[in-house]
Chains A and B, each alone.
Chain A
Amino acid sequence: DTGVSQDPRHKITKRGQNVTFRCDPISEHNRLYWYRQTLGQGPEFLTYFQNEAQLEKSRLLSDRFSAERPKGSFSTLEIQRTEQGDSAMYLCASTASGTAEQYFGPGTRLTVT
């Protein structure tokens, strides 16, 4: 296993379109996180899954955002009706229960024009 992977690496979309990102965590990790990073800021927490259950969502996650983790494996993050303010790097991380370190994927860079 080579680590956390994310697809696509880059996405350019027009305002109002829907986009979906995928994250494949490290296979034995049951915890999966989505973060968002904008220029000059550190990553900010969006949402968390333990296995297939979404257990926490940040107030940053508006109702245009939805995330799933069917069967507790890969996860998807969908943004509906994108806005220019959604332009950011979307990062996925995974870890095992009882472990502090989270391992990040390469991220998906979203640009909304």
Chain B
Amino acid sequence: DQQVKQNSPSLSVQEGRISILNCDYTNSMFDYFLWYKKYPAEGPTFLISISSIKDKNEDGRFTVFLNKSAKHLSLHIVPSQPGDSAVYFCAAKTQGGSEKLVFGKGTKLTVNP
């Protein structure tokens, strides 16, 4: 059972425009949500996170929005740059115990010059 879903395997945008990556989850007990960026042959790099008690977190060009009632979050990148081209993973942190991360399958973002 996929507790974290990224339904778009790929997304292509023009440089300078907004990139919106989406993520849905099913488990109401997740207490933090995180976005990671991954280049080929490298490990995931932490990008931005949001607590389940917030609805928005912003860091430079990156903003994450959380809609708890819809169990949906999104990552906005404005403006998009060619260096943003990578696979983006949405992850959710379980509460208590190991606090392991549960990942979606990823969305491959391509930013065209």
Contact = CB atoms under 8 A, between A and B. Distances in A.
A21 interface: no
A33 interface: yes
A35 B93 CA distance: 14
Q: What band does the interface of chain B fall in when counting residues whose beta carbon is under 8 Å from A?
A: 20 to 34
B106 A42 contact: yes
A109 B91 contact: no
Interface stretch (A61-69, A76-84, A98-106): A98-106
Interface in B82-105: 89, 91, 93, 97-105
A95 B58 CA distance: 22
Interface of A: 4, 6, 31, 33, 35, 40-45, 48, 55-56, 91, 93, 100-107, 109
Given A91-B44, A101-B49, A106-B42, 8 more contacts: A6-B43, A41-B105, A42-B91, A45-B100, A93-B43, A101-B46, A107-B41, A109-B41
Interface of B: 4, 31-32, 34, 36, 41-46, 49, 51, 89, 91, 93, 97-106
